[in-house]
Chain A
Amino acid sequence: MENRIKEFRAKYNFTQEDLAKKVGVRRETIVFLEKGKYNPSLNLAYKVAKVLKTTVDELFTLED
Chain B
Amino acid sequence: MKKDKLRLFIMAVITIALLYIIFLFFFSFPVEDLNIEEILTIIIPLVLIVFMSFFVRRRYMDIKAGMPLEDERSKKIMNKTAAMSFYTTFYWLLLISWLKGPIARMLGLEYLDAGQTTAVAILGMTVVFFGFWLYYNKKGKID
Contact = CB atoms under 8 A, between A and B. Distances in A.
A7 interface: no
Interface in B56-78: 62, 65-68, 70-74
B143 A29 contact: no
Given A25-B73, A26-B73, A32 B68 contact: no
B66 to A, nearest CB: 5
Interface residues of A, number: 18
A26 B143 contact: no
Nearest to A41: B72
Nearest to A27: B67
Nearest to A44: B72
B141 interface: yes
Dominant SS among interface residues on chain B: loop
B2 to A, nearest CB: 15
A47 to B, nearest CB: 10
Contact of B140 (A20, A24, A32, A44): A32
Nearest to A20: B67
A38 B142 contact: yes
Contacts of A29: 71-74
Contact of B74 (A20, A26, A44): A26
Contacts of A24: 68, 71
A24 B62 CA distance: 12
A6 B52 CA distance: 33
Contacts of B141: 37-38
A63 B95 CA distance: 42
A24 to B, nearest CB: 6
A41 B140 CA distance: 15
Interface of A: 17, 20-21, 24-29, 32, 35, 37-41, 43-44
Given A26-B67, A37-B140, 15 more contacts: A21-B66, A21-B67, A24-B68, A24-B71, A25-B67, A25-B71, A25-B73, A26-B73, A27-B62, A27-B65, A32-B140, A35-B140, A37-B141, A38-B73, A43-B72
